[in-house]
């Protein structure tokens, strides 16, 4: 038997492993996708295409094993495998069951495919990956590569034996990075960002008891607002990503009365064409720290944030765990730096290739590691942005998320229509948006407690303190 080469986990894989340990026996690290075909598909050819995908991408053949308590990995040799074909008409419930599977890191293949057909002859390919071998960008690559391989097989176009870019070349490059001058420049940048103690936005005091079960809330901005966004960003020299992120920043700032906002941002972290075309986990989620100053104009705030984002992107390879270690040593903070994650996806899905009409979808699996995650995209190139809010339902109620969306949309619309130009009006409009759309009951109670406790520290009357504590206890029971 050929001796296998053992590799350490990459930094991004190590982050996934830590999440896996924190939320053990859950499907929190599943990546689930669905490829829907709108044209007739030959099932056997589709199976061959999927087999070739796994054969050519070594990241999909990663196997894990423990050595002295440390998780490490190796590449398993390709072996042809069959794919189950199921006849299911109402697949919504089945997709939830499919996505809820909990991988055994050291025993399972970390990928899985099934083909679903219905009575109308429609075909779809569903896939499931552990996040330790694939990220959301990889999910998109899986779809496009399967379609490409299927077309080549159908049209009898030669497919070379050469494999695609190896994920383990990235691991080797990461080793070089850790010992490079660039690493120490990145370290200097992030250490300076967190030189001063950060304010960490928490939605619950006891974070150890938060349940990761989540619900997805989706809304689509109308095309007029979407067009206004594109026009505003183009005319003012800022990215759409920056505008969406800044809108979230100012909302959270006013909503929770903080001027120091940290938001987790997933950065692609793929430095060249080979890495951009490779399946694997490269994404690095970093804590972007944004300060708000109401003495400057809205456009000035956008320009400042634009610069902050550009600088963070220059240092996107730096390991998040190294930032956490620095903050722990410097400020004695031993928790995640962000509880809100934001992503803006500007990639468009190709929906037709070589006369094959298809669509792909990322399946939500009702569990998230962060308290709330906001994703904005127009993947199907409709001209209207979708705003997707995944939230832990132990912390938020649906009406609270609806009001968050309404306030967010209102602020966004006011900014892009340039109805808010001066800082005082920006502050008024944010206050109005928050007040008009309310604060949901669960986080409202937590916020009310924090505000009232702050008042108590400034009062010496013991009787008044006792009365207020009784009032808060009574109201939280309602």
- Token pair for residue 29? 């690290």
Burial class, 449, CB count within 10 angstroms (exposed 0-12 / middle 13-18 / buried 19+): middle
**pTM for the structure as a whole:** 0.86
Three-class DSSP labels, 248-298: HHHHHHHHCCCCEEEEEEEECCCCCHHHHCCCCCCCEEEEEEEECCCCCCH
| Residue 62: C-alpha distances to residues 78, 174, 318, 435, 470 (Å) | 10, 18, 24, 51, 57
Return phi, psi of residue 198, to 5°. -85, 155
Beta-carbon count within 10 A of 175 CB: 12
Burial of 135 (C-beta count, 10 Å sphere; 0-12/13-18/19+): buried
Contact between 408 and 437 under an 8 Å Cβ cutoff? The reply is no
pLDDT, one tens digit for every residue, the chain (478 residues): 457 899 999 999 999 999 999 999 999 999 999 999 988 999 999 999 999 999 999 999 999 999 999 999 999 999 999 999 999 887 788 999 999 999 999 999 999 999 999 888 889 999 999 999 999 999 989 999 999 999 999 999 999 877 789 999 999 999 999 999 999 999 999 999 999 999 999 886 655 566 789 999 999 999 999 999 999 999 999 999 999 999 999 899 988 889 999 999 999 999 999 999 999 999 999 999 999 887 888 889 999 999 999 999 999 999 999 999 999 999 999 989 999 999 998 766 655 566 688 888 889 999 999 999 999 998 777 889 999 999 999 999 999 999 999 999 998 988 887 655 555 566 666 666 666 655 444 444 444 444 444 444 334 444 444 444 444 444 443 3
Torsion-angle region of residue 68: left (phi > 0), alpha (psi -120 to 50) or beta? left
| Sequence-distant (≥ 6) Cβ neighbours of residue 463 within 8 angstroms | none
> Which SS3 state, helix, strand or coil, does residue 418 take?
coil
- CA–CA dist 456, 350 (Å, integer): 58
Instruction: Give the pair of three-digit tokens for residue 318.
Output: 């730096």
φ, ψ of residue 239 in degrees (nearest 5) = -85, 160
- CB contact set of 9 (below 8 Å; sequence gap of 6+): 17, 71, 72, 73, 132
Cβ distance 262 to 337 under 8 Å?
Answer: yes
What is residue 474's DSSP assignment? H
R_g (Cα) of the chain, nearest Å: 24
Geometric angle at alpha carbon 393, from 390 and 399, rounded to 5°: 85
């Amino acid at each position: 038997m050929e001796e296998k080469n053992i590799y350490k986990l990459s930094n991004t894989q190590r982050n996934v492993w830590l999440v896996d340990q924190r939320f053990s026996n859950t499907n929190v690290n599943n990546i689930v996708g669905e490829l829907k075909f709108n044209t007739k598909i030959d099932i056997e050819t589709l199976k061959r295409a999927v087999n070739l995908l796994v054969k050519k991408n070594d990241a999909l053949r990663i196997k894990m094993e423990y050595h002295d308590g440390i998780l490490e990995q190796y590449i398993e040799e390709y072996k042809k495998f069959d794919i189950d074909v199921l006849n299911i008409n109402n697949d919504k419930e089945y997709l939830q069951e499919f996505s809820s599977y909990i991988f055994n890191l050291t025993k399972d293949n970390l990928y899985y495919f099934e083909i679903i057909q219905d009575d109308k002859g429609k075909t779809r390919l569903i896939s499931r990956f552990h996040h330790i071998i694939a990220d959301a960008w990889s999910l998109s690559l899986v779809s496009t590569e399967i379609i490409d391989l299927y077309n080549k097989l159908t049209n009898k176009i030669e497919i070379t034996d050469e494999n695609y870019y190896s994920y383990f070349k990235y691991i080797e490059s990461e080793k070089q990075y850790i010992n490079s001058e660039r690493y120490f420049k990145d370290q200097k940048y992030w250490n300076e960002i967190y030189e001063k103690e950060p304010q960490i936005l928490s939605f619950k005091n006891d974070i150890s008891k938060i349940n990761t079960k989540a619900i997805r809330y989706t809304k689509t901005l109308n095309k007029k607002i979407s067009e206004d966004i594109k026009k505003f960003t183009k005319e003012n020299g800022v990215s759409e990503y920056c505008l969406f992120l800044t809108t979230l920043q100012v909302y959270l700032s006013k909503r929770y009365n903080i001027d120091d906002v940290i938001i987790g941002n997933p950065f692609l972290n793929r430095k060249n064409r080979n890495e951009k075309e490779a399946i694997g986990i490269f994404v690095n989620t970093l804590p972007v720290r944004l300060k708000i100053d109401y003495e400057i104009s809205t456009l000035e705030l956008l320009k400042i944030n634009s610069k902050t984002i550009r600088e963070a992107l220059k240092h996107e390879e730096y390991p998040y765990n190294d930032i956490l270690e620095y903050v722990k040593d410097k400020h004695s903070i031993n928790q995640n730096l962000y509880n809100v994650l934001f992503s803006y996806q500007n990639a468009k899905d190709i929906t037709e290739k070589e006369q094959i009409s298809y669509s792909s979808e990322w399946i939500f699996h009702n569990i998230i590691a962060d308290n709330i995650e906001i994703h904005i995209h127009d993947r199907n190139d409709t001209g209207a942005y979708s705003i997707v809010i995944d939230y832990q339902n132990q912390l938020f109620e649906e009406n609270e998320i609806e009001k968050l969306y309404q306030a967010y949309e209102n602020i966004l619309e006011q900014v892009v229509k340039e109805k808010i130009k001066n800082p005082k009006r920006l502050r008024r409009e944010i206050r109005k948006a928050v007040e008009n759309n309310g604060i949901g009951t669960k986080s409202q109670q937590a916020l009310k407690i924090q505000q009232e406790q702050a008042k108590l520290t400034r009062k010496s009357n013991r009787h008044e303190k006792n009365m207020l504590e009784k009032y808060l206890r009574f109201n939280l029971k309602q």
